[in-house]
Amino acid sequence: MAAALAGHQGGVVATVNNPSEGLALYNASPKQLRPLCAFLPASPTTGVYSGLATCKSQGIPIDDYFIMRGIMAAPGLSPAQQAFWVDVFKKVYDSDEWKKFMTDNALQPDFRTGLDFRQFLSQYQQLHQDIATKFKWVS
């Protein structure tokens, strides 16, 4: 990516990024980098990616692919310790500053904890494995 941003030929041809990661790269070099499509069921309607075609409409039949971010603690926390940290991160998630960050960076909000989060991680890992295998991104 650094070579492509520096203008060297033969660098990166394509990359998959979360909108917030891609946004910084795009803003740094809009003449060399451009978003091709969104892995979403519908085109974004707000922000810098508003109107960006879905990948499905561009012939890539994936409409729900994303890079998640999560907070995980070391094993052995007591239920009280777990509750403390869930409360801390829920307050951050509910804050106006976090909501603005999510909007400004075209991120999709989602807050999960406990068993729901564990199940999500299992499904998320399977989703990535299935997509990478189907499209021969891995052998």
Question: For residue range 33-92, what is the model confidence (pLDDT) as tens digits?
Answer: 778 888 888 888 877 788 999 989 998 888 777 778 889 898 999 999 999 999 999 999
pLDDT of residue 61: 85
Euclidean distance between CA atoms 80 and 24, whole angstroms: 39
Question: Mean pLDDT of all residues in the chain?
Answer: 84
pLDDT of residue 77: 95
pTM value > 0.75: no
Crossing angle for the helix pair 96-104 and 79-94, to the nearest 10 degrees: 60
What percentage of the chain has pLDDT greater than the value 70? 89
